[in-house]
Structure 1
Amino acid sequence: MEGGFIIKMNSITIIVLALCMCATVAQDTKKYDNASNVNIEAILSNDRIVTNYIKCLLETGSCTKEGRDLRRLLPDAIQTDCSRCTADQKRNSRKVITFLRTRRPQDWKKLTDKYDPQGLFKKRSSLA
């Protein structure tokens, strides 16, 4: 079960990264800006901010420019296993994954259903 949990965590790392990168601006080359200085705890402690980013990612609410950029980058990041993410971004992603899985499981399910509906990333990760 633990291995499955880790694989599932990896399959949605980029979704969580979107929440971590509130100030990130995507470039046309689809490179990620450095968002290592984001205060994850402050973001996660603000239910309004978390809810707004989730709604943006699910296309059920309005988005900031950063939210739209992140939503556009999400498929590429899933496809490349977040290869352009920094170590800090990946670490912050794990924090947000834990938060979503434990405190907002319904939102977690909606996000995974939308961005990895067939579990392709999960399958690819399990082969590695």
Structure 2
Amino acid sequence: MRSWLICLCVLTVVVTCHSQAPNRYENFNADAIIQNDRILLAYYKCVMDKGPCTRDGKNFKRVLPETLATACGRCNPKQKTIVRKLLLGIRSKSEPRFLELLDKYNPDRSNRDALYAFLVTGN
């Protein structure tokens, strides 16, 4: 359970950072975040409104709805790679938590098929 929370937090951080600031998170280390349970849990709590947020956490939370709704449509290729890696990491840890995140930030499920296609193909 803890691992999926960490993955979910990482996903949130990556998705948010990459869709809002094209260059700010270019060198974001998704693997390091996925492997750090404490950091991942903190980001998860932030984006799910279950804990405090850092500045980055607030930014991620702000752009996450658009990122999920557009299947990372505004992301550059490097950002897409990072976002995809994080989303797949979270999904592999816990499908129910992954869906909970999607439902929170894209409740009308707009463009959900495109998001899943993005996860499969990276495009």
TM-score by length of 1: 0.67
The runs of 5 or more residues in structure 1 that have no matched partner are 1-14
Residue in structure 1 matching 2:73, options 61, 73, 83: 83
Name the SS for the 1:120 alignment partner: coil
Deviation >4 Å, runs of 4+: none
- Summarize the alignment of residues 40-55 of structure 1 with structure 2, pairs less than 5 Å apart: 40-55=30-45
Could you tell me whether the CA contact under 8 Å between 1:21 and 1:38 is conserved in 2? no
Q: What CA deviation, in whole Å up to 9, does each residue of 1:64-88 have, x standing for no partner? A: 0111122112233344442321211
CA distance in 2, matches of 1:119, 1:111: 11
Is residue 2:22 matched to residue 1:19? no
The structure with the larger Rg is 1
Percentage of pairs with the same residue: 32
Could you tell me whether the CA contact under 8 Å between 1:56 and 1:68 is conserved in 2? yes
Larger RCO, structure (CA 8 Å, separation 6 or more): 1
Relative to its length, the structure with more helix (as a share) is: 2
The runs of 5 or more residues in structure 2 that have no matched partner are 1-9, 118-123
Cα pair distance change 1:100/1:79, threshold 3 Å: closer
CA distance in 1, matches of 2:88, 2:94: 10
Cα pair distance change 1:111/1:79, threshold 3 Å: closer
Q: Report the aligned-residue RMSD.
A: 2.8
TM-score by length of 2: 0.69
